[in-house]
Structure 1
Amino acid sequence: MSNKVMIIGTGNVGASIGFSLASQRTPVNELVLVDIDQADAEGEAMDLRDTLAVSPTYLKISAGSYEKDARDTDIAIFTAGAAQKKGGETRIELLARNAKILHDVVDQLLAANFHGILLIVTNPVDVMSYLAMQYSNFPSYKIIGSGTVLDSARLRYHLAERLSVSPKSIHAYQVGEHGDSEFAIWSTANVGSQPINKLLKKSELDKIEEDTKLAAYKIIEKKGATYYGIGACVTSIVNCIFNDERRVLPVSTYDAYTDTFFGFPSVVGRRGVVRRLDTELSEDEELKLQSSINIIKKAINSIPTK
């Protein structure tokens, strides 16, 4: 690996990922920005290069193209997507448009001999990750969705605030669909080996779980979009891959039994997904997970996969 990253889509999310990569210590050696609006990609690259003199890291940053850059790109981060049209466009209609954008991008990557890891960020991320595997015919370990990494970070923050400890000491995951059907695995959540469901009342856990699920809606209501959190989370995933950290992250990965992608604790390393963990769930959590999977599969089945 040359530790080269391509960000596809230079909107708020793509630009925030670029800034996060450029502003902290990272093994990334080269960052290429690609967008349908070439001028925007060039402007973002120029803006990011201005940080390098005071950044703790140094990397080559440029606006590029699939033809010139895809062949030696190790991780392609897909953040491109259409905005929901005013006047009543449904989420399914929006999904169909974003699926077409993804298909076009994957075709261009393959035509340019891309053989790296596809890291999907565009929503609905679980559905888009499944489609990326279908469109590319890549092995499932080379397709990673950002999944519930951000949701789990929000969960850990809320728990840390309530328990007065560092979020880094909280071991808890939000899993399933990155969306309204996601849920927290309380049965195994802990801090310092102490079960969290014995430290907090059920009513407190329910409030924290609800706050976690509603966080994005509240941010969007106040400022129009969320992008700093996902920027930091994607940087964490990229570093985990390049450093072969084999950290457990709730990324969206392929589950052959259900033939779908969803966020669940998985080991991530240099090859991509090393393995999905067989995390034990309570009976109630099993039912919640199946319900979440059903929602993802219904969305997948609503659009053509080829």
Structure 2
Amino acid sequence: MYSVLLPYAALGALSLTFAKPVELHVRDVTPVSSSELASFAPYTQFARAAYCPTDSLQNWSCGEACEANSDFEVSLVGGDGNDVQIYFVGYSPSLGAVVVAHEGTDPTQLESDLTDVDIPLAPLSSTLFPGISSDVQVHTGFQDEHALTADAILAEVKSLMSSKGTSKIVAVGHSLGGALAEIDTIFFRLNIPSATISAMTYGTPRVGNPAWASLVDSSNVNFKRIDNMKDLIPIVPGRSLGYQHPAGEIHILSPGDAVSCPGDEDATDADCQIEYVPNIFDGNIIDHLGPYEGIYIGTIFCT
């Protein structure tokens, strides 16, 4: 591991004379309607299901999370929840899409790991991500975890797309699982370029550097990352360490009240995550678990 400490750049003083006062443009957030918030529920329940034991996922009998997507046809389940995060792949007739879901991890452990000053960024694997510039860098641990299951998941996704006659893929995940789903978007785009790809992530930490964020933004992926109230996980690792989120933030301010934040990371509007939770000491790790419009996500909520 190596240190990636990157101090904030100092801004030089400007001695310019303007003919008239300059107005700083603050990007406006957009309220998210109640109907749009309600439409997220199936994806939230898939992210919740990824925390459930593999035997219950194989039978799609994981309680409320499975019942909420009762028509889902699971075809591949893997991982052990320890060395390899649990994951599942299947087909949702309701969504008309192949769904890939990844398990998250203990939020207190994740907070500890991601606030460490020695957090390595590294270029993407040239084997799994051929042709991507070495300027694009992601968290080494996230990339290594993704690589453990990438080939098996890709093969199953391609098989299902063929057998079900769909071009749609949806990647979902919460916490670390959200980071893996974010990496999935580029992995699927490179390997299945004709696919229509969406991702819904919850409480996702920053995954990569600004070049990574730009790559996600330009990859024709319908990407949404949902932050809940004072959750501190989405603001780590710090931007001072070279990390940046891609666009697509939806910030839940309170149950039933959420805003869509513009740009990669909106540091100008008080309703967006990095202003709402300016540092980890102002955050609340409990908000990482939810509620995401009435749905809590985590191992203890797999019932």
TM value normalised by structure 2: 0.38
